[in-house]
């Protein structure tokens, strides 16, 4: 299983800002389950409420709805292993004279390590091991140029993939996207208020309409419902194509396309590239659902939901150790044996990263009496690590980087395996000139921004 990265949210100029943020975080829960936090600006101060766990565990809805604040930002987090501490939960805050700033960040600042060392040498103290604090400390250092210029200067020093929302104690909110625009961040609007969110599902829950996806390098500042764009340099777009494959919620509009439709197109394209004779198409739930639907509709092979997912598995079984992963998969998935017995099936999943889920699933399917298994992966072979904030940073862990197709068949004990091609993936997005639109480095090893894995490995991802 790929563990998601962070979700961020911000709203300005609404007496229900905290309530809106709570709802926004609920909608963004899939982007991070380790911690949740809200910072609200009230009476010239910033109050932060955060804890480890899911939004519903961290916040008591009755109490949360009573918290005052006309502007608020929020964060749900997933981190790399070893960093699940409350001090690293976001939003994080920093003070400078009578000013306080809170930051909610999604992404990975690849030069955070170098910048932090430099700032420490200058006498600046750090309280967390999070990359996001590096941005806040840079912001404070540059405040002598004024808030807007400080945001711009700081955003242009840090490198990598980041979408950040900053809240000031006066209730101003700034939304910043890196110069390549790796991570999604959109602007929405209710009748009176502007909202920033990682995905549009967090706008929907608050009754807001989508205004736009922020451009790479774009900086927007909202103050008392007035919005201002700060001019900044732009670079080539490198939107993370994995948002379409796995991360984003299917009902979200990401990079101007509804994720549901794009995932279905991946399945259709996969069918065009590698159709198989089969009695039924089944998804690996839930990640494979939409691609499997597309595959089934394109091939006219019946779609069956024959692997049943236990919806109540919670976080207990999201464990890094292999043995726990295996128990987790057994608890999570159970086959409808009568449907599957003696059948030839095409099983569809969105991606294949480490292979542990597929290995267990094919074992379960064989036990259920399936005659033949054709594995269909609705994305290309995943051979390269992601330095931009996703939890697959080591090539040794990447299944496709270490096995041939025959070795994969043998390992999973299946009859065939097919991946969607890179060209097919790009074409299926329906984006014009997709080569100039997406990062796809985990498939082709062509990295849009130079990186130093390890320099920023305590990042929020
Ligand atoms: S390397 Fe892959 S996961 Fe990472 S940003 Fe690029 S497309 Fe997304």
User: What is the Cα–Cα distance from 346 to 401, expressed in whole angstroms?
Assistant: 23
Mean pLDDT (10-residue bins), the chain, 461 residues: 75 94 97 93 94 93 86 86 69 94 90 92 88 92 95 92 94 95 95 96 98 95 92 83 95 94 98 94 95 98 95 56 67 92 97 89 94 98 87 80 95 97 97 93 91 43 31
Distance, CA of 160 to chain centre: 15
Q: How far apart are CA 181 and CA 198, in angstroms?
A: 12
Indicate whether 241 and 264 sit together in one domain.
Answer: no
Do residues 136 and 94 touch, judged by C-beta distance below 8 A? yes
Residue 102 lies in a domain: yes
In a domain, 67, yes or no: yes
Of 232, 254, 276, the residue that ends a domain is: 254
* 28 ligand 1 Cβ < 6 A: no
Q: What is the dihedral of CA 370, 319, 458, 389, to 10 degrees?
A: 20
388 lines ligand 1 (CB under 6 A): yes
Whether the pTM exceeds 0.75: the reply is: yes
Among all residues, which ones are annotated catalytic? 6
What pLDDT score was predicted for residue 82? 40
Q: Is 137 helix (H, G, I), strand (E, B) or coil?
A: helix
Q: Quick check: CB of 242 below 6 Å from ligand 1?
A: yes
Q: Nearest to residue 429, comparing CAs of 269, 294, 235?
A: 269
pLDDT score at 127 = 86
Q: Domains in the chain: how many in total?
A: 2
Determine the atom of ligand 1 nearest the C-alpha atom of 182.
Answer: 5
Q: What was the pLDDT predicted at 459? A: 36
Write the CATH number for 389: 3.40.50.2020
Mapped onto helix, strand or coil, the DSSP state of residue 129 is: coil
Is residue 293 located within the same domain as residue 368? yes
Question: Whose CA is closest to atom 4 on ligand 1?
Answer: 386
Q: Is the peptide bond before 91 cis (omega within 30 degrees of 0)?
A: yes
Ligand 1 centroid – CA 134 distance (Å)? 22
CA of 246 to the centre of ligand 1 (A): 11
Determine how many CB atoms are found less than 10 A away from the CB of residue 131. Answer: 29
Say yes or no: 72 and 208 in one domain.
yes
Exposure b/e, 284-319, CB count within 10 A at least 16 = b? bbebbbbbbbbbbebbebebbebbeeeeeeeeebbe
CA-nearest of 365, 358, 308 to 341 is 365
| Beta carbons of 348 and 287 less than 8 angstroms apart | no
Radius of gyration of the chain (CA): 22
439 lines ligand 1 (CB under 6 A): yes
At residue 316, the pLDDT reads 43
| pLDDT for residue 335 | 94
Tell me if 291 CB under 6 Å of ligand 1. no
Domain termination site, one of 208, 228, 254: 254
Dmax over CA atoms of the chain, in Å, equals 72
- Ligand 1 site, residue 110, Cβ cutoff 6 A: no
Which residues form the domain of 425? 260-429
Q: What is the pLDDT of residue 423?
A: 97
pLDDT of residue 460: 31
For tokens 């004779």, the residue is 277
Structural tokens at position 93: 């805050």
The CA distances from residue 367 to 309, 347, 372, 373, 434, in Å, are 17, 15, 12, 12, 42
| Residue entry with tokens 């080591």 | 394
Tokens of 241: 């194509």
Packing angle, helices 259-273 and 289-299, rounded to 10: 50
Neighbours of 446 (CB within 10 A): 10
437 within domain boundaries: no
Same domain, 246 and 298: no
Domain boundary among 205, 222, 254: 254
Q: Which of 390, 395, 459 to mutate to test the pocket of ligand 1 (most atoms within 8 A of CB)?
A: 390
- The pLDDT tens digits for 384-441 are 998 887 766 678 889 999 999 999 999 999 999 999 999 999 999 999 999 999 999 9
436 within domain boundaries = no
Separation of alpha carbons 417 and 409, rounded Å: 7
pLDDT in the model for residue 163 = 94
367 and 221 within one domain: no
Residue 398, classed as helix, strand or coil, is coil
Residues 267 and 240 in one domain: no
Find out whether 271 and 249 touch, Cβ atoms under 8 Å: no
In angstroms, rounded to a whole number, what is the distance separating the alpha carbons of residues 172 and 212?
20
Calculate how far, in angstroms, residue 242's C-alpha sits from the geometric centre of ligand 1. 6
CB of 441 within 8 A of CB of 242? no
Within a 13 Å sphere around the CA of 116, how many CA atoms are in the beta-carbon half? 20
Peptide bond into 15 cis (omega under 30): no
Do residues 353 and 396 lie in contact, with contact meaning Cβ atoms separated by under 8 Å? no
Span from the CA of 441 to the centroid of ligand 1 (angstroms): 6
* Spacing, Cα 453 to ligand 1 middle (Å): 14
**Beta pairing class for 92-96 and 99-109:** antiparallel
Instruction: Based on the fold, state whether residues 208 and 267 are members of the same structural domain.
Output: no
Ligand 1 atom showing the smallest separation from residue 389 Cα: 4
CATH number, domain at 98? 3.60.20.10
CA nearest 164: which of 225, 220, 226, 227? 220
Residue 382 and residue 329 share a domain: yes
């Amino acid at each position: 299983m790929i563990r998601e990265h962070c979700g961020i949210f911000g709203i300005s100029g609404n007496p229900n800002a905290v309530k809106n943020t709570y709802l926004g975080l609920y909608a963004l829960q899939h982007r991070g389950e380790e911690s949740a936090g809200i910072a609200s600006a009230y009476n010239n101060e910033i109050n932060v409420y955060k804890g480890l766990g899911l939004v519903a565990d961290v916040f008591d809805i009755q109490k949360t709805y009573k918290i005052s604040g006309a502007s608020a930002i929020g964060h749900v987090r997933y981190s790399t292993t070893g960093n699940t501490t409350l001090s690293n939960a976001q939003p994080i805050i920093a003070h400078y004279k009578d000013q306080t700033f809170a930051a909610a960040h999604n992404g990975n600042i690849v030069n955070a390590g170098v910048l932090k060392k430099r700032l420490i040498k200058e006498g600046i103290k750090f309280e967390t091991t999070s990359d996001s604090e590096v941005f806040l400390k840079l912001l404070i250092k540059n405040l002598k140029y004024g808030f807007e210029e400080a945001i711009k200067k700081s955003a242009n020093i840090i490198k990598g993939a980041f979408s950040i929302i900053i809240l000031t104690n006066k209730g101003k909110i700034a939304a910043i996207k890196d110069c390549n625009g790796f991570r999604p961040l959109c602007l929405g609007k209710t009748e009176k208020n502007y909202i920033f969110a990682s995905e549009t599902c967090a706008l929907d829950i608050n009754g807001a309409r989508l205004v736009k996806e922020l451009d790479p390098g774009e900086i927007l500042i909202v103050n008392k419902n007035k919005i201002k764009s700060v001019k900044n340099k732009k670079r080539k777009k490198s939107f993370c194509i994995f948002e379409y494959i796995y991360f984003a919620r299917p009902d979200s509009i990401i990079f101007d396309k509804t994720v549901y439709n794009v995932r279905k197109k991946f399945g259709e394209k996969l069918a065009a590239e590698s159709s198989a004779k089969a009695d039924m198409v089944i998804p690996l739930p839930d990640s494979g659902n939409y691609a499997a639907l597309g595959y089934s509709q394109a091939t006219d092979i019946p779609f069956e939901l024959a692997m049943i997912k236990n919806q109540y598995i919670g976080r207990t079984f999201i464990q890094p150790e292999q043995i726990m992963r295996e128990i987790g998969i057994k608890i999570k998935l159970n086959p409808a044996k009568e449907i599957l017995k003696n059948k030839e099936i095409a099983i569809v999943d969105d991606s294949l990263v480490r292979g542990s889920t597929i290995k267990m699933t094919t074992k379960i399917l064989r036990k259920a009496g399936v005659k033949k298994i054709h594995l269909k992966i609705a994305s290309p072979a995943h051979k390269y690590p992601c330095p931009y904030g996703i939890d697959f940073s080591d090539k040794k862990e990447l299944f496709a980087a270490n096995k041939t197709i025959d070795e994969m068949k043998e390992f999973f004990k299946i009859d065939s395996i097919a991946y969607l091609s890179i060209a097919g993936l790009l074409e299926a997005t329906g984006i014009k000139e997709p080569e100039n639109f997406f990062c796809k480095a985990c498939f082709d090893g062509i990295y849009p921004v130079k990186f130093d894995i390890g320099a920023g490995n305590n990042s929020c991802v």
